[in-house]
Amino acid sequence: MKIILLGAPGSGKGTLAKQITKDFSIPQISTGDLFREIVKTESPLANKVKEIMKSGALVPDEVTIQIMKDRISKPDCEKGFILDGFPRTIKQAIELQNISDIDIVILVNLSNDVIVERLSSRRTCPNCGEIYNTTTYKKESCEKCATKLIQRDDDKPETIKNRLEVYEKNTAPLINFYSEKLFMVSSAGSPIETYAKVKTFLQDLEDKN
Ligand code: AMP
């Protein structure tokens, strides 16, 4: 199954992707994670990407599309994948059509007020990428790999506002672009509740094919 997860930053795409990966045995491809790996390297590209991410802007389409092309061509993507955070512009979506077909686009819906609240209290494991929220997880290190959790630079209040504006301007138009493949889910409830709805939908889809 080839899935796109669409939704504003902080709407819960990453958490959902991890659950789908486990049950449906397809890899999560997060452009944000790929860029965070690039930033760890010492290169001119790393410095450029770091500054862009810190501001909440988008990495240029050419760079993003190339990185995605390389990742999708790996053998683990043959049976399908979940794209988490890609495409984020109409240009990326059009390019994606030349690379691969897509079965379904899941739109994760959440109000901006709740997004700001959740992003401000989000903590991330810089080692394994696991995501936590300080309202429900009180420890300072990752449950899975014991690495000290961090607050991403772009989860700080000054950047969150910009990321939401960038989403409205560049990414929200994709809802219309994918109108025929869209499954909408609210992530206002718990991650378990949100995933239950998605899982039922995906299982039905699998049974039909
Ligand atoms: P995310 O972890 O998905 O919230 O992404 C973090 C940051 O990585 C974004 O704010 C962008 O700066 C960059 N990024 C991730 N995915 C894309 C994309 N598809 N196109 C351009 N920039 C992206």
Q: List pLDDT tens digits, range 117-138.
A: 999 999 999 999 899 999 999 9
Q: How far is the CA of 208 from the centre of ligand 1 (A)?
A: 33
DSSP result, 135-198: TT---SB-TTT-PBPB--GGGSHHHHHHHHHHIIIIITHHHHHTGGGEEEEE-SS-HHHHHHHH
Q: Confirm whether 124 is domain-assigned.
A: yes
Higher pLDDT, 206 or 179: 179
Q: Confirm whether 149 is domain-assigned.
A: yes
Q: Are 181 and 104 in contact (CB under 8 A)?
A: yes
Q: Is pLDDT of 158 > 90?
A: no
Domain count for the chain, please give it: 1
The confidence score (pLDDT) of residue 188 equals 96
The confidence score (pLDDT) of residue 157 equals 84
Looking at the annotation, which residues are catalytic? 13, 88, 122, 152, 163
Q: Whose structure tokens read 């994760």?
A: 108
Residue nearest (by alpha carbon) to ligand 1 atom 2: 32
Q: Confirm whether 120 is domain-assigned.
A: yes
Contacts of 87 (CB under 8 A, 6+ apart): 4, 93, 95, 96, 171, 174
Q: Are 57 and 160 in contact (CB under 8 A)?
A: no
Q: How far is the CA of 31 from the centre of ligand 1 (A)?
A: 6
The confidence score (pLDDT) of residue 124 equals 94
Q: Confirm whether 209 is domain-assigned.
A: no
Looking from the CA of residue 166, the nearest atom of ligand 1 is: 10
Residue 153 pLDDT level (bands cut at 50, 70, 90)? confident
Residue 20 pLDDT level (bands cut at 50, 70, 90)? very high
The confidence score (pLDDT) of residue 42 equals 84
Residue 28 Cβ < 6 Å to ligand 1: no
Residue nearest (by alpha carbon) to ligand 1 atom 17: 31
Q: Is pLDDT of 75 > 90?
A: yes
- Residue 98 structure tokens: 């030349």
CATH, residue 41: 3.40.50.300
Whole-Å CA distances, 10 to 17, 19, 95, 130 = 13, 16, 25, 14
Q: 102 lies in which domain range?
A: 2-195
Mean per-residue pLDDT, 74-80: 95
Q: Confirm whether 207 is domain-assigned.
A: no
| Window from 8-12, 63-67, 154-158, 159-163 with minimum mean pLDDT | 154-158
Looking from the CA of residue 68, the nearest atom of ligand 1 is: 19
Counting ligand 1 atoms within 8 A of each CB, the residue from 11, 59, 92, 162 with the most, and so the one to mutate, is 59
Residue 77 corresponds to which amino acid?
Answer: C
The confidence score (pLDDT) of residue 121 equals 93
Q: Is pLDDT of 164 > 90?
A: yes
Q: Confirm whether 41 is domain-assigned.
A: yes
Q: Confirm whether 95 is domain-assigned.
A: yes
Mean per-residue pLDDT, 3-24: 96
Mean per-residue pLDDT, 20-29: 96
Q: Confirm whether 201 is domain-assigned.
A: no
Mean per-residue pLDDT, 77-98: 97
